[in-house]
Amino acid sequence: MKIKTNTDMLIQNGFFIVFALAFLFFATMTEHFFEAENILNILHTMSPLAITASGLALVVISGRLDISVGSTAFLSCAIGALLMKNVGVDPILAAILVLICGALLGAVSGFVVTVLNVNSLIATLGTMIAYRGIALALTDALLVQLPEPIRVLGNAHIGPVPTDIFIMLLVLVAVHVLHAKTAFGRQLVAIGNDIAIARKVGLPVDRTGFFSFVLAGALASAGGILTTVQNGAVSPFLGSGLEFTALAVVVVGGISLLGGRGTILLSIIPGAFIFEMIRNGLTNLGANPYSYRLVGGAVIFAAMYADALKSGRLSLKRGSNP
């Protein structure tokens, strides 16, 4: 029977220790951090990020990467906003078209990766640049304002709780069930653990991988919709850096970059919360706005190092081979 050492326990629970310490620090050092209104504001602000990260998590669990999710959100939302502004498309229809557009953009990445056998990092780097370029051309790199009735929805509440928190929870529960309770989710895990063995036992590796990119694209566009509604417009900076923040959320929450390990709810919610909590706490402290990048980068590094230790790629023993 294998007994976990104190170091093993620290690695496994390191995120929650950091989470608790950061929460206690901000709750102690800032006046209004621990108030219910501020906690709801953190959840409200992190909703688009959490939804986007949940789709990216499916790709990561399969052992691949998709760094085009930010550009996918930008291009799909730009198309929807322009359809409403210039063509007069109904907002509900526009939202559906945005989701379809996101799924199609994800399908392009999935096709390049699974059919053309291009490395997922290289493939999605290409689509990231291409999608953002197309979106900037369509919008002339200008703000595209939403109709006034839509802008009001950015502050919609059900009781005291912002509506987008409920939307986030519904989406995350659905993705969690898809991953944990369906054959598709089990196939993703199997592919992430060993794609060669998955092929040998007859799993539909390419089809499953393709649909993980489709879902990542659709969920990125869903996150983009929430961001757009919150801001009241499609900004030229929409989704800029989102792919890396979403990837950080996935890894910080405990999903391995090597694939095959992690859950959705227990990874995405705390992962997204800690990044938004840091941003919120530093803002309440009146810290330099650029300090968020420093602290966030430190959290990402710690998470990557812990992931490497858990996967056995590194050892705490000096002089050991990776």
Q: What is the CATH number of the domain that holds 142?
A: 1.10.3470
Once rounded to an integer, what is the mean pLDDT over residues 214-232?
A: 96
Q: Give me 140's structure tokens.
A: 């002339």
Q: Which residue range(s) make up the domain with 297?
A: 30-310
b/e 15-31 (16+ beta carbons within 10 angstroms → b): beebbeebbeebeeebe
- Note whether 63 and 262 are within 8 A (CB): no
Helix (H, G, I), strand (E, B) or coil at 239: coil
Q: What is the pLDDT of residue 312?
A: 59
pLDDT of residue 216 exceeding 90? yes
Percent of the chain topping pLDDT 90: 65
Q: What is the pLDDT of residue 14?
A: 62
Question: What is the count of structural domains for the chain?
Answer: 1
The answer to whether position 135 is within a domain reads yes
Residue 315 belongs to what H/E stretch? Answer: none
The answer to whether position 294 is within a domain reads yes
Those residues with Cβ within 8 angstroms of residue 156's Cβ, 6 or more apart along the chain or in another chain: 162, 163, 164
Strands 157-158 and 161-162, sheet pairing: antiparallel
pLDDT of residue 256 exceeding 50? yes
The answer to whether position 25 is within a domain reads no
Q: Tell me how far CA of residue 175 lies from CA of 46, 181, 190, in angstroms.
A: 17, 10, 17
Question: pLDDT tens digits, residue range 282-319?
Answer: 888 888 877 887 887 777 777 677 666 666 555 444 44
Question: pLDDT tens digits, residue range 148-169?
Answer: 888 888 888 999 999 999 999 9
The answer to whether position 209 is within a domain reads yes
Question: pLDDT tens digits, residue range 8-39?
Answer: 444 455 667 777 888 888 888 888 888 889 99
For residue 158, which phi and psi values (nearest 5 degrees)?
-115, 100
Q: Give me 4's structure tokens.
A: 């976990």
The answer to whether position 15 is within a domain reads no
- Note whether 52 and 112 are within 8 A (CB): no
The answer to whether position 108 is within a domain reads yes
The answer to whether position 4 is within a domain reads no
Predicted structure pTM score: 0.91
pLDDT of residue 321 exceeding 50? no
Mean pLDDT for the chain overall: 88
pLDDT of residue 217 exceeding 50? yes
b/e 290-322 (16+ beta carbons within 10 angstroms → b): eebeebbeebbeebeebbbbbeeeeeeeeeeee
Rounded distance between C-alpha atoms, residue 297 and residue 279, angstroms: 12
The answer to whether position 321 is within a domain reads no
